[in-house]
Chains A and B, each alone.
Chain A
């Protein structure tokens, strides 16, 4: 026969059970709304996943376009350099021609002057001087020589400015490297989500093999970068030399 104590324990347990049921009753709407939330969230997550997959698949195209920009600028730079070389060759030939003309002009002048004592004519000197004055080309030729020199300096400046191609290609390579890293991250995210291997797709980033670049490359015509490098180089060289001397004496 059950004792009073056992009965009260049973009632206490039943009471606990009742509490569990009433808690469960309160929990049912929460679970229900959680289910509803999941129902709404799953398509949303699928949409996000689809968007990421679509964006990721577009990355190789963007990266390859950047690569084609690098190739196109390299080709254009080569064409400009070819033209500059032709221009320089032409200028060299004009410069040589002009120098020859100047030399001949001087020879002509010297020859005419040498004739003066031999001419049996009155005012021969004045006549020759007048002729030379009226037919003198040397000042024009000198001006042409100056212009040629300036044009050569300009073509050299064009050549030097083309260093921008090397520097921008390194900057674009840095961007491509970042794009590749983002694609790798997104691809692993998608793989975790639905086991799709995005790297199996046909669109792949085609970066040149073994490409190296300076992520901090920048084009600046200021001499500040070189001055800074010189300071560091000279200071470090002095420190190194001192260290070598110390090593010898210790």
Chain B
């Protein structure tokens, strides 16, 4: 099964940049959400979504809260989550790790970094996705 990404960011610009970068990496299946709450609704209604790329700072429900909600859910608990954020300080990274994020990208990112992290996540998941 191919990857179907859920891209979560309150900035429309950032969502488009992530989508464009993924297209350049050869992926072509995406769904977008403007905040964590919308992301959870989309995850619940579309079981084919199998990879989440999320920002941290978002209104309504933050990226960190989204990861916690995903991990606490029996159905979607194992979906890989990549955090793409401006927050690069140690405490933030550790907090994200405690929430069980799969990997961490600091903005501004490059497609090479995005590919490296997606590949690393897929490799650690045994390529199951």
Contacts and interface: CB of A to CB of B under 8 A. Distances in A.
B35 to A, nearest CB: 9
Contact of B109 (A212, A226, A237): A226
Interface size class, chain A: 35 or more
Interface of A: 74, 77-78, 81, 84-85, 156, 159-167, 169-170, 208-214, 216-221, 225-226, 228-230, 232-233, 236-237, 240
A84 to B, nearest CB: 8
Contacts of A74: 11-13
A226 B85 CA distance: 11
Contact of B86 (A160, A209, A214, A240): A214
B17 interface: yes
- Tell me what chain B mostly uses at the interface: helix, strand, loop, or mixed: mixed
Nearest to A217: B86
Contact of A209 (B9, B59, B106, B113): B59
Most buried by A among B88, B89, B111: B88
Given A84-B20, A160-B109, 9 more contacts: A74-B11, A85-B20, A163-B108, A166-B13, A166-B86, A170-B86, A217-B86, A220-B108, A233-B97
Contacts, number: 105
23 contacts: A74-B11, A74-B12, A78-B16, A81-B13, A81-B20, A156-B21, A160-B17, A160-B108, A162-B17, A166-B11, A166-B13, A166-B14, A169-B11, A212-B58, A212-B59, A216-B89, A225-B106, A226-B109, A228-B88, A229-B104, A229-B106, A233-B97, A236-B97
